[in-house]
Structure 1
Amino acid sequence: MAALTKVAVLGASGNLGPPVVQALLAAGFKVTTITRQESKATFPADVVVKRVDLSSEESLIEAVKGQDAVISTVSGEAIASQKLFIDAAITAQVKRFIPSEFGINTREARNTNFGQFVAPKIADGLRNGFFGFDLKNKTCQIYDSGNEPFSGTNLAFIGKCVAAALAKPGATANKFLTIASFTITQNEVKKVIEEEIGSELTVTNVKTSDLEKIGQQKLANNDPTAFVEYLSQCVFADGAGQAVTENAAVTVLGLQEESLRETVRAAIAATQ
């Protein structure tokens, strides 16, 4: 398969976009970002920036012409626009399209009460409390036994994996790739945090069955934050089975898993 050299990134100013762009540049790709016309986002000097009407297929076709690959890193409501992005890429004869599916395996997700998932991004999760850990106040919530394995991925690592996948087009074409910085449990994270801060965390035990009830109540009231309870249950419930256990692509991509301890140290530093 011919090498892919020119890559366009949609949603490049969001949470995941910047590390993907940086990884592509580091790997030697020629990068173009495609943003909304009104966007004020800035990008590295060696990135071509195209500001277009993202609701216009014609504008999108023109924007992606000549590109070998298009990567979507959009999130939230913009995910619904991906069909338009794909249609434009097909018309422009783009060789590879990577959709914004950087999260839980939506083909096999145990819950169906929610639509789109945010991936368990480990560093952000530790800083923002999603994993049940409040580093600033030295507290944590342990869901069920705390021994359910889950796979966490640093944003920068996702960027490296995307770049590596495009660098090996033949080996990765039309495949669902499962990647993770590491597979861990809440109790393992707790142990490392306590070792790094030199004191114990105050623990609150939470039943994920209670989270489901809270989520149902919120959903009945059209409260979108029900997503938090449903996602926590889906990832951390005993027997959830969301960890990356097969077809892990890290080895195929020529990468190595990352260090939980280094990630914890970075998260602690970010809260100080």
Structure 2
Amino acid sequence: MADPIKKVAVIGASGNLGKEIVQELLKAGFEVTAFAREDSQSKFPPNVTVKRVDYQSVDSLTSALKGLDAVVSAIATVAIGSQTPLVDAAISAKVRRFIPSEFGINTRIAGGTAIGNILQGKVKTLDYIIGKSQENPWFTWTGISSGIFFDWGLQFGSVGFDKRTKTATIYDSGDEPVQASNLPFLGRVVAAVLSQPEKTANQYLSVASFNPSQNQILKIVEAKTGEKWKVEHASTAEQEKIGLEKLSKGDYSAFSNLLRHRIYADGAKRAVEGEDNAIGLLGLQEEDLAATVEKWLDE
């Protein structure tokens, strides 16, 4: 049996997802090191070691990674391409596990699509990691697809529900189930992956807190508030058209439009249910959709 993973570096530890990963790793008993740029003003919990690094320097990163067992990258999508020096440094420092910034849609099945082209940084990074793992069998990886960030999306409106105006935007029929994960849940997923290194080595895992349809969410918000919400119907085909037009002009805000088409279109089949949801492998359980929605309404 391989030695347990105990010492973990988190990249992007001050971000929305990174903060939750750090908290859940600490709760699970891991020793956490947060990497930050030299000029970063980010604050971290007192029980987290902070190392200042140059993300473009393999030497700087290698030095910071010495003695650590795993790297978890939670950097934002716009910075995805900068993970290659981190991968090279991890190998140089003999880090045993790399979890890249895959969180979101499954990039392994997005090839050849417009949204897949936007995510080429993620695709190429994981391809690079897999290649390096094959060259260095002791260097392992785990990819984690989470679907949409549900609790974050409720808070910032990207899920299509506005509690101030009691308005819901429903795409197509609103009956299509969608892969969705809460941020703290993803922190627990990462902790579970690293707690079971042999079981999760060199695997691409799709997880979800739950797989709600828009109409299920609408039913919950109306029941909780005791009011009928105003429903605005929209077309995912129109969203795709808008996204492609933006993309043709180099406007990468097209991602949001293309994502709506990809996940909400009737027949999209992007949910991860039953055995497709890797939480069973990890020893985790689905979360309570109604409890998540109600908590957001009460905040």
Aligned to 1:139: 167
Unpaired segments ≥5 residues, structure 1: none
Contact kept in structure 2, 1:8 and 1:67, CA below 8 Å: yes
Normalising by structure 1, what TM-score? 0.95
Q: Secondary structure at the match of 1:232?
A: helix
Contact kept in structure 1, 2:70 and 2:95, CA below 8 Å: yes
**Cα distance, 1:77 vs. partner?**
2.2
Cα offsets for 1:93-116 (capped at 9, x unmatched): 101000000111111137721323
Aligned to 2:114: 113
CA 258–158 in structure 1, closer or farther in 2 if over 3 Å, else same: same
Aligned to 2:181: 153
Q: Per residue, is there more helix in 1 or in 2?
A: 2
Give the Cα separation in 1 of the matches to 2:212 and 2:147. 15
In the alignment, structure 1 residue 199 sits paired with structure 2 residue 200: no
Give the Cα separation in 1 of the matches to 2:105 and 2:287. 19
Give the Cα separation in 2 of the matches to 1:264 and 1:6. 35
Aligned to 1:265: 294
CA 238–163 in structure 1, closer or farther in 2 if over 3 Å, else same: same
Unpaired segments ≥5 residues, structure 2: 123-145
AA partner of residue 189 (structure 2) = C
Aligned to 1:55: 56
**Cα distance, 1:216 vs. partner?**
2.0
Contact kept in structure 1, 2:147 and 2:179, CA below 8 Å: no
AA partner of residue 215 (structure 1) = G
Q: Secondary structure at the match of 1:177?
A: strand
**Identical aligned residues as a percent:** 48
Aligned to 1:237: 265
Contact kept in structure 1, 2:147 and 2:208, CA below 8 Å: no
Contact kept in structure 1, 2:106 and 2:147, CA below 8 Å: no
Cα offsets for 1:11-30 (capped at 9, x unmatched): 11112100000000000001
Aligned to 1:175: 203
Give the Cα separation in 1 of the matches to 2:71 and 2:250. 34
Q: Secondary structure at the match of 2:41?
A: coil
Choose the corresponding residue for 2:194, options 148, 166, 188: 166
RMSD between aligned residues: 1.5
In the alignment, structure 1 residue 213 sits paired with structure 2 residue 241: yes
Cα offsets for 1:13-50 (capped at 9, x unmatched): 11210000000000000110111111111111111000
Give the Cα separation in 1 of the matches to 2:166 and 2:111. 31
AA partner of residue 194 (structure 1) = E
Give the Cα separation in 1 of the matches to 2:253 and 2:79. 18
Identify the structure with bigger relative contact order (alpha carbons < 8 Å, sequence gap 6+). Answer: 1
